[in-house]
């Protein structure tokens, strides 16, 4: 079993739709969680960190469930420009090693 697992998708949604991605992690000692966005043939860029209390940035909402060991990303009112791969990243404690998931591809269509 991989340490960080994501649904690879792809998710094909129309503009304006709400879409949610989940990411599960196996190491209960993980301490920091992130969502990165990666456009085709580009480098990953931080979308948002995920806090225990959950956090929201505009149309994006991230949540953490430590008991079930998963994090989620919700995108509301999808835009064409949201089309990308979304990478989940989990930072392990005691060494700060970051493990990335394989990514979930999102296509938003007009």
Partner 1 sequence: EAGVVQSPRYKIIEKKQPVAFWCNPISGHNTLYWYRQNLGQGPELLIRYENEEAVDDSQLPKDRFSAERLKGVDSTLKIQPAELGDSAVYLCASSSGLAGSEQFFGPGTRLTVL
Interacting residues toward partner 1 by CB under 8 A: 4, 8, 31-32, 34, 42-46, 49, 87, 89, 91, 95-103
> 106, exposed or middle or buried, with CB in 10 Å at 0-12, 13-18, 19+?
buried
CB nearer to partner 1: give 17 or 27: 27
Select 17 or 102, whichever has its Cβ closest to partner 1: 102
Whichever of 8 and 16 has its CB closer to partner 1, that residue is 8
DSSP 92: P
Nearest distance, CB of residue 64 and partner 1, angstroms: 12
Nearest Cα residue to 11 out of 90, 98, 73: 73
Q: Is the dihedral of CA 48, 89, 98, 68 positive or negative?
A: positive
Question: Smallest distance from the beta carbon of 74 to partner 1, in angstroms?
Answer: 20
CB of 103 vs partner 1, minimal distance in Å: 5
For residue 20, give the 3-state DSSP assignment: strand
**17 vs 60, beta carbon nearer partner 1:** 60
Is the separation of the CB atoms in 35 and 73 below 8 Å? yes
Find the shortest distance in angstroms from Cβ 100 to partner 1: 3
């Amino acid at each position: 079993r991989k340490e960080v697992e994501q649904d690879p998708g792809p998710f094909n949604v129309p503009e304006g739709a709400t879409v949610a991605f989940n990411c599960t992690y196996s190491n209960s000692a993980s301490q920091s969680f992130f969502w990165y966005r990666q456009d085709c043939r580009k480098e990953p860029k931080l979308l948002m960190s995920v806090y225990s209390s959950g956090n929201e940035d505009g149309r994006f909402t991230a949540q953490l469930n430590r008991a079930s060991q998963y994090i989620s990303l919700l995108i509301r009112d999808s835009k064409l420009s949201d089309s990308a791969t979304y990478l989940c990243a989990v930072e392990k404690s005691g060494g700060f090693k970051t493990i990335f998931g394989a990514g979930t591809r999102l296509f938003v269509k007009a």
